[in-house]
Structure formats: structure tokens, C-alpha cells
Amino acid sequence: MSSSAMPRAGRSGFTLIELLVVIAIIAVLIALLLPAVQSAREAARRAQCTNNMKQLALGALNYESAQQTLPPGGFTRSGALPGSKWNFSPFVHMLPLLEQQNVFNAVNFSPGVFDAQNVTIAAIGVSTLNCPSDGSIYDTTPLDPTRYTNLPPGDWREAKSSYGGVVGAWCLLLHVDNATFALRLANMNGAIYAHSSTRLGAITDGTSNTMLFAEHNHSLFDQAGRAQYHGWSSGYWTDTLLGAYYPVNGTHRFFSINDPSARDYIAFNLSSNHPGGANIGLADGSVRFLKDSVDCWSIDPTTKTAQGLSFNSDGTGRVLIAPGSRLGVLQALSTRNFGEVVSADSY
């Protein structure tokens, strides 16, 4: 039999070109699938964040039912007293309602939050206060020794919170030693702020239109900022309080994260790591996702202040609104008694 008549052996594999084509197809499929996977994972993280916010809102309502007031944003103490001038976050007051009775029992309320007697609770992470999308929130950071009195030697740490009580459309650094403390206290317009004692009946704008809690984006900061801001047990204004002065996720339009004088305002801003907005907990116990595009009052880019507002113009350390000034939907949602009617369609 001639060699030309012999049967040929079957092909044993792909050619190089065929392998490259297969690899290219797989790469395209992965590229198409990856955004869907990431989107699904973010949806799960956002759902967990929504659940956290729901627990906080309901916890605050249960607190109000028992104490006849919503949890305060923290009481300050006279600088003449020993211990810390600043006191505890609303979350510390709510601990028994967040299934954290043992942590609550460990709190020493007498000397204030920044005292050696309360360094141990500072490091206790409360899972309800951690948004899964806020990745760095799970890292404890070294305590700032300049904040604490009588801090003993040791590697003392602090856990953080992705959430804060909403103080209103603006914030005043209230302290009982202020000469015009009573006037400044009356100038606050949110539901949870320093020395607040807000009852549900005082929320005349409607519980479904008034925020109790919202998110702040801890992961925006570098390591130094993460150590400085958002300690869960502290009632200081850049830790567990936030306001609706600037647009949602909007401080980057007016401030640089690298500007030391601006970082406090960024820490205090309503923001999140969720694409397109942030979760808020309302005074009726519901949770809504507030979009970045929600209407906000006009901010002067030069002075970085809201148009129509003035601070300390009468020497009392208050914020005053000029007649006819426009409130945004964001500010309306943050205030308890400004008399606005806000449709859910607007946010």
C-alpha cells in the first residue's frame, strides 16, 4: 500500500491562533460579567446598610418611647470639672436597644467620654454602626492621646461609626460654657444634636420628612483622618453627628481633602461609599436612599457659605436666615420644625 493511501492521524490540539481566540472570548466574557458581579455585591452591601439604618431608627424610637425624648447628641460638661469636656454619642445612650447591654454597663458617664475610665469601650466595635461599603470602618485606630485625660500607657484603640445623628441644616459647636449657650441651643433645628431633648411631638414637619440618622463616608480619609474622625462612642460634632449644610457627597466641590482647615467639614458631611447617594433613617422608622442630586440651597463657591445665611452677625454665635432665603429639599429633610411640606417625589 502506498504512503499516500495511509490514513492520517487525528488532530491532537488547538493551534496557537485558536487558543488566542478562546482566551480573548473568555476575557470579553469576564469583562462583561465583572460589573454585574460588582453591582450585585454592592446591592448586598447597601441592603445590609439599610438594615443597620433601620435598626438605628427603630432603636431611637424605642428610646423615645421609654425616655420621652430621642437620644441626645451628647451633653457637654463645664471645663471647670475634672475629666472630659465632651460626652457620649447618641449610640452610647442607645446601646441597650441595640442588644449591647454589656457594653452599656461598662460606660462610666461621670467623667465624660475622653477619659481614661472609658478607653476600653472606645475600642469595642458595634456591627450595627458599620456600613459594609465603607471599607475602612472595620479598622480600629490608635486613640489620640491629646483628647484623653489621664490616659495610661498602652496600645489603646478606637472603633468607628459609618453613621451619625442629623443635627439639622447647620451645626453650632455647642458647649455649656458658651456665654450665649441658651440662645445657641434654641438655634439648632435638627432632631439629634448636642444637648438635644427632642420629642416626636416637636417634629412638626412630619416624622416621615425628618431625618434622624444618615451616613458619613469614613473611607474618604487617609490614615491620619481615619484616626481623627468618626469614633463611635464620642458625641463630638465630627464623630457621630452630621449635617445637611452641603450637598450629599458634595463637599469635594468646595473643599480639598488635603486641606487641614476643610477636613472637619468633610467629616461632618452627609455622604457614603454607595454609588449615587446615601442612606438616611427617618423619624417614622423608615429608611430612604437620598440621591446625590437632591435639591440643596445655593452655596457661594467663594465663601463656601449658603446664600442668605449669616453666622454671628448679632454677636450671639448663631446662624440667622435672611427673610425670603430658599431652603433646599435636603435642608427641609434635616430640620424638624421649619414648616416645609416635602413630597417624597422630590427625593
Quick: pLDDT tens for 308-347. Answer: 999 999 999 999 999 989 999 999 999 999 887 777 777 7
What torsion, rounded to 10 degrees, do the Cα atoms 46, 52, 56, 58 define? 90
Percentage of residues of the chain with pLDDT beyond 90: 77
Quick: pLDDT tens for 111-143. Answer: 999 999 999 999 999 999 999 999 899 999 999
Quick: pLDDT tens for 165-182. Answer: 999 999 999 999 999 999
Please say if the pLDDT value at position 2 is more than 80: no
Quick: pLDDT tens for 208-223. Answer: 999 999 999 999 999 9
Cβ neighbours around 213 below 10 Å, total: 27
**Using CA atoms, how far apart are residues 231 and 224, in angstroms rounded to an integer?**
13
pTM of the model: 0.88
Amino acid found at 66? A
Angle at 273 between CA 270 and CA 278, to 5 degrees: 45
Overall average pLDDT of the 227-236 stretch: 96
Closest among 240, 272, 282 to 46, alpha carbons compared: 272
Amino acid found at 295? D
Quick: pLDDT tens for 282-310. Answer: 999 999 999 999 999 999 999 999 999 99
- Residue with the three cell numbers 430658599: 326
Domains of the chain by residue range? 38-334
Quick: pLDDT tens for 243-296. Answer: 999 999 999 899 999 999 999 999 999 999 999 999 999 999 999 999 999 999
Please say if the pLDDT value at position 40 is more than 90: no
Overall average pLDDT of the 86-104 stretch: 96
Please say if the pLDDT value at position 86 is more than 50: yes
2-36 burial by CB neighbour count: b if 16+ within 10 A, else e?
A: eeeeeeeeeeeeeeeeeeeeeeeeeeeeeeeeeee
**Using CA atoms, how far apart are residues 195 and 197, in angstroms rounded to an integer?**
7
Give the pLDDT score at 42. Answer: 81
Give the pLDDT score at 1. Answer: 45
**What average pLDDT does the chain have?**
91
**Using CA atoms, how far apart are residues 265 and 245, in angstroms rounded to an integer?**
9
Q: For the CA atoms of the chain, what is the radius of gyration? A: 26
3-state secondary structure of 183: helix
| Cell of residue 78, nine digits | 463645664
| Cell of residue 312, nine digits | 454671628
Please say if the pLDDT value at position 23 is more than 80: yes
According to DSSP H, which parts of 99-247 are helical? Answer: 101-105, 119-122, 181-186, 223-228
Amino acid found at 23? I
**Using CA atoms, how far apart are residues 166 and 191, in angstroms rounded to an integer?**
7
Q: What is the edge-to-edge ordering of all strands in the sheet holding 163-166?
A: 241-242, 163-166, 211-215, 277-282, 287-291
Give the pLDDT score at 222. Answer: 94
Quick: pLDDT tens for 28-38. Answer: 887 777 776 66
According to DSSP H, which parts of 300-343 are helical? Answer: 329-334
List the single range of 2-11, 108-117, 182-191, 206-215 with lowest mean pLDDT: 2-11
